[in-house]
Amino acid sequence: LPVQGWVFVLSDTSAELLADAVSLRITLIVICAVCMTFLTVWVYLVVWKLLSPLKRVEAAVVRLENIDLSAGEAVKDLAKSPDEVGTIASAVVNMS
């Protein structure tokens, strides 16, 4: 304390001084691992949801390639979609 002219000296091991930092580091690593796992699962589900109509259209195109003219029936519901998959599905329906 500068007013009194006193000096405090503390003695402690580095393990005790860094215990809170180590605990915080472990907690942050666990939180990051859980978040990364959650995000990975979420991205997988979103990509799967986005690609499933495209896989149906691909299967219909392969059936059309093998001269199966009923291939358009499998993607008739997708032909109403306003996106690119809907455009391709509409073309498959028109070809069959």
Mean pLDDT of 62-74: 84
CA dist 91 to 55, 59, 70, Å?
A: 15, 14, 13
Q: What is the pLDDT of residues 7-49, one digit of tens each?
A: 777 777 777 778 888 899 999 999 999 999 999 999 999 999 9
Mean pLDDT of 77-87: 86
Distance CA 44, CA 31 (A): 20
pLDDT on residue 32: 98
Residue-averaged pLDDT of the chain: 87
Distance CA 16, CA 58 (A): 62
